[in-house]
Structure 1
């Protein structure tokens, strides 16, 4: 995908990977800030990405195959969070938001990744957590919103590792949708010693897959992808390793898809906002 598209068009077969939703009545809903994490690892056959199949019937993206992520909690902006790596101002300059908003997005990315798949992108300034079993109760407390990320990290003596992330993309849910998100996509590699699990009520199944194979499943109608997921997976097919993907230069632009059904195809028109 070009760095600065004014309009891009993708034709994808109906029923072969892209879900369309009914238009919402009334004026567009204001998008909610959210963070998505594209979690990578080097498998025996090449680069793999962690994917979750969301439970059908969920209010947003039910039945879709997605990357871990979710909405920003107001407490994610807590400036007391222990932090190392690029600061909030740096992230804000890339994602087009104020420093407090950028801090909230990075914290949401760490929190959601831990909540949804048990991967904790934290540690000390020099090391990353390798065994998260001691934090199982804290994970449930985060899910229940009993504690904030800052409270959890402080109590555990941990530091958020912003240096483990890379900015990848910025997508906004189409204006016609009844639920909308202004989502920043982060790229991260699975830390050594950790494992991603499927212990979340939001997913019926989850696991690792090569990007090309996930796209093949979508084309065959075995899974359903939203345009950001489809395009991200397609971009990842060009990399052999996680480190190669993390080293890729990215220019972040805010993109909104419009889905137009034309016969047996869904035309996905991407416009820069």
Structure 2
């Protein structure tokens, strides 16, 4: 956000974010990207893979394995068209941003190596063809059953770009390698939530409240199996922006430990 200007009339767009998890020596690790500085939204921030829903995500004609669209619609409190778009966007954005593809040649398998799809990944990012066209061409089934619904945060009123973001969790598929081969990432890393929060606390990274909150949440689990077995409530979280001493602040549930660190990313944008 430039200076402290507020933009009260910007409607939020749908977006999907995927928290990729894997078991490490010290417990679950998550995959994080530091976004390229100067980007229109969350530039320089450390985030999970994700992005805005594409109009074609809602109309995607894909082979689907896992809970039906109606189940996702109920969990996220949306209609079925919107639910389908959110799930498709989650799988598409994860593939585009870090090369992890939650799809397989059959409903009970998953691609073990995505390196052969490197060119297609670049073409998807540049929107040369749709995700459904890619899956159909490669004979792949979208594995919605590998995702779990996790949270729902809406960008505060006042931001010049706003998103209604659904968070998912998914275990990193065996054999696949998450990377930073995307135009949006300056750096990537697997870290425990505790390591990621320590980096933020010591000023090496910047975390917005939704990312910080999900890291705190994942830190409470001892393994990926425990994370995937969780069935969290998914309230709609809409933080509130306000000005204090000439700087922007944000009010959100469970904010006390966040502000105890004395880090206020809105004042740095």
Shared fold per TM-score greater than 0.5? yes
Is the 8 Å Cα contact of residues 158 and 241 (structure 2) preserved in structure 1? no
The counterpart of 1:115, out of the listed 91, 96, 121, is 96
Shift of 1:28: 2.1
Give the 3-state SS of the residue equivalent to 2:30 in structure 1.
strand
Is the 8 Å Cα contact of residues 21 and 170 (structure 2) preserved in structure 1? yes
Aligned-pair RMSD on alpha carbons? 1.9
Is the 8 Å Cα contact of residues 157 and 241 (structure 2) preserved in structure 1? no
- CA deviations on 1:170-196 (whole Å, 9 max, x unpaired) are 000000101000100000000011110
Bigger share in helix: 2
Return 5+ residue gaps in structure 1 as ranges. Answer: 1-18
Shift of 1:260: 4.3
Runs of 4+ in 1 over 3 A off after TM superposition: 259-263, 265-268
Q: 1:175 to 1:266 in 2, by over 3 A?
A: closer
Is the 8 Å Cα contact of residues 54 and 204 (structure 1) preserved in structure 2? yes
Higher relative contact order (CA 8 A, sep 6+): 1
Return 5+ residue gaps in structure 2 as ranges. Answer: 254-269
Is the 8 Å Cα contact of residues 21 and 177 (structure 1) preserved in structure 2? no
Match in the other structure for 1:73:
54
Does 2:159 match 1:157?
A: no
Match in the other structure for 2:265:
none
Match in the other structure for 1:34:
15
Q: Structure 2 matches for 1:62-101, cutoff 5 A? A: 62-101=43-82
Give the 3-state SS of the residue equivalent to 2:108 in structure 1.
coil
Give the 3-state SS of the residue equivalent to 1:86 in structure 2.
coil
**TM-score normalised by the chain length of structure 2:** 0.89
Shift of 1:259: 4.0
Match in the other structure for 2:262:
none
**TM-score normalised by the chain length of structure 1:** 0.88
